[in-house]
């Protein structure tokens, strides 16, 4: 079975771990979000790609969900001693090595997809990880600031520095319109037996991937079941601050509203949590097959069960 998964960071990575456990023989291609990539200290940092790679490769900081296990912070504290920031982005020493290798390869002329493949040669994540594009896309968030009025800030500044504590007026994947899908992305979609949207952020993770011209169209035209899992449980994001960016695109923070946001033109099936069982008829009325199942990824077993439910729903759609 060939499965294509669109993934953001922590939610996508944990779902993928469950999917691998549920379908160890499946051929899984992950199209990773690069809209939250950021240049820090002259280095190219790809938080979502790394979270997927570290999680599936066994290097992730389990409790935190991002960054490396057994991490130290000598480089960061030294940079601070030089007065070089930002200090709000927590890069550890082990993590720095990844960014150093990536930057060196990028500056040597390798596209991000080739760099990602090289990094994965070490981590052996057991899936094929492809960035959504080799072109630069950078998600910006429009906010109001006391000093400068309304301005656009990098997604990471909004998310990590400001903790999404101010209203987002708009979310713009700068550069997406001019971006091309990375080599292998459209081919993987065309060859897929099923396409899954994990409970990742529908705006800044999966939404950004879909903003790369050609990807949304390829998924809609693939002719295979497309099944998603709601990142909203009981009217709030399971983790992160998805409600904040949903508001910016005028979407209510409910499982049904997120399904409608993707739309029946894209989505064939949708899993909501059991606490949102009441919304199943609303989703189905919109032309999307819907089931209510437990959607909390408390451990790999729970994530694997969710993955199985998604694949079961896909088979229902197909039949």
Q: Which residues bind a copy of itself (CB under 8 A)?
A: 41-43, 72, 74-76, 78-79, 81-84, 92-94, 96-98, 100-101, 103-104, 107-108, 118-119, 121-122
CB of 156 to a copy of itself, least distance (A): 17
CA angle 283, 285, 288 (to 5 degrees): 50
What span, in angstroms and rounded, lies between the C-alpha atoms of 254 and 133? 30
Nearer to a copy of itself, 40 or 296 (CB): 40
Residue in 133, 156, 157 with CA at minimum distance from that of residue 145? 157
| Chain center to CA of 158 | 16
For 140, the 3-state DSSP assignment is strand
CB of 59 to a copy of itself, least distance (A): 9
CB of 101 to a copy of itself, least distance (A): 5
Nearer to a copy of itself, 72 or 274 (CB): 72
CB of 98 to a copy of itself, least distance (A): 7
What span, in angstroms and rounded, lies between the C-alpha atoms of 64 and 83? 27
Q: With beta carbons less than 8 A apart as the criterion, state whether 315 and 309 touch.
A: no
Q: With beta carbons less than 8 A apart as the criterion, state whether 256 and 237 touch.
A: no
Nearer to a copy of itself, 81 or 147 (CB): 81
Query: What six digits make up the tokens of 113?
Result: 């997809």
Nearer to a copy of itself, 118 or 191 (CB): 118
CB of 51 to a copy of itself, least distance (A): 17
Nearer to a copy of itself, 93 or 284 (CB): 93
What span, in angstroms and rounded, lies between the C-alpha atoms of 76 and 78? 5
């Amino acid at each position: 079975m060939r499965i294509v998964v669109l993934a953001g960071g922590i939610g996508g990575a944990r779902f993928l771990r469950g999917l691998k456990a549920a379908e160890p023989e499946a051929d899984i291609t992950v199209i990773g979000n690069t809209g939250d990539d950021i240049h820090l200290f002259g280095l190219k940092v790809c938080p979502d790609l790394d979270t997927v790679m570290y999680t599936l490769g066994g290097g992730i900081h389990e409790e935190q969900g991002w960054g490396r296990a057994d991490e130290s912070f000598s480089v960061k504290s030294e940079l601070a001693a030089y007065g070089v920031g930002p200090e709000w982005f927590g890069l550890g020493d082990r993590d720095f090595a990844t960014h150093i290798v990536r930057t060196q390869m990028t500056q040597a002329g390798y596209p991000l997809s080739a760099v990602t493949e090289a990094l994965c040669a070490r981590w052996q994540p057991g899936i094929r990880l492809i960035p959504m594009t080799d072109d630069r896309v950078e998600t910006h968030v429009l906010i109001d600031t006391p000093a400068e009025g309304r301005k656009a800030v990098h997604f990471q500044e909004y998310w990590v520095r400001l903790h999404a504590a101010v209203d987002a007026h708009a979310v713009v994947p700068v550069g997406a319109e001019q971006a091309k899908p990375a080599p292998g992305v459209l081919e993987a979609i065309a060859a897929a037996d099923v396409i899954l949207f994990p409970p990742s952020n529908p705006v800044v993770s999966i939404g950004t991937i879909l903003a790369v011209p050609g990807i949304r169209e390829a998924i809609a035209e693939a002719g295979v079941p497309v099944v998603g899992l709601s990142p909203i449980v009981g009217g709030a994001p399971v983790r992160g601050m998805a409600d904040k960016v949903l508001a910016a695109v005028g979407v209510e923070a409910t499982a049904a509203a997120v399904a409608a946001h993707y739309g029946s033109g894209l989505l064939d099936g949708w899993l909501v949590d059991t606490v949102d069982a009441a919304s199943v008829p609303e989703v189905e009325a919109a032309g999307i097959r819907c089931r209510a199942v437990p959607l909390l990824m408390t451990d790999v077993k729970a994530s694997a069960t969710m993955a199985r439910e998604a694949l079961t729903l896909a088979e229902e759609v197909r039949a």
